[in-house]
Chains A and B, each alone.
Chain A
Amino acid sequence: MYLAKVIGTVWATRKDENLRTLKLQFIQPINAKREKTGDPLVAVDTIGAGPGETVFYITAREAVIPLPVEMAPVDASIVGIIDRIDPHKP
């Protein structure tokens, strides 16, 4: 699982049948210090996250598991909204 910030929403009318009911969010991966890292990507939002919120997301085939459909071409899903990060000093 990875951390990211929700930076936007994607609107698409023409899409795969199984994506029809799903909300697509644009997210920017961040590190534990909340700094941007890597390229933004699009993830399915299964928990109702909004722009500006810090979330954690899963990738690859596992991203289909939290969805309400059995099969969907999804490779990233937001599975939680982060309340707080407590980094422990080494």
Chain B
Amino acid sequence: MVLGKVVGTVWATRKDEELVGMKFLIVRHLDVQHKLKETFVVAVDTVQAGVGDVVLVTSGSSARQTAVTKNKPVDAVIVAVVDKLDIQD
């Protein structure tokens, strides 16, 4: 899983039928110091995350392992809203 910050929402009316009802968020990748990186990913939200939240994003075929995304054409999913990060390095 990688760390990211929700920076926006994606709206798409014409899409795969299996994706109907899903919420798509734009997640910018974050480094350990909570600094935004240039890269981002569009991820399906399963935990009611909102803009500004720091989240964990799971990608690849593991992204289909939630109740919402099972067997759906999805390769990135928000699986947690991060409360706190304890870095000891």
A interface vs B, CB < 8 Å?
5, 7-19, 24, 26, 28, 39-43, 51-52, 60-61, 63-64, 71-76
Number of interface residues of B (CB under 8 A): 33
B60 at interface (Cβ–Cβ under 8 A)?
Answer: yes
Q: Return chain A residues, CB-CB under 8 Å to B86.
A: 8-11, 51
Least Cβ distance of B4 to chain A in Å?
11
B interface vs A, CB < 8 Å?
1-3, 31-32, 46-49, 56, 58-63, 65-67, 69-70, 77, 79-89
Question: Is there contact, CB below 8 Å, between B48 and A11?
Answer: no
Least Cβ distance of A30 to chain B in Å?
11
- From B3, B47, B84, give the contact of A15 (CB < 8 A): B47
- From B56, B67, B88, B89, give the contact of A10 (CB < 8 A): B56
Q: Return chain A residues, CB-CB under 8 Å to B48.
A: 14
Number of A-B contacts (CB under 8 A): 108
A40 to B31, CA, bound (A): 8
- From B49, B67, B89, give the contact of A8 (CB < 8 A): B89
**Given A42-B3, A75-B59; A8-B65 close (CB under 8 Å):** no
Question: Is there contact, CB below 8 Å, between A73 and B65?
Answer: yes
Least Cβ distance of A26 to chain B in Å?
7
> Which of B47, B48, B80 has most chain A Cβ within 10 Å?
B80
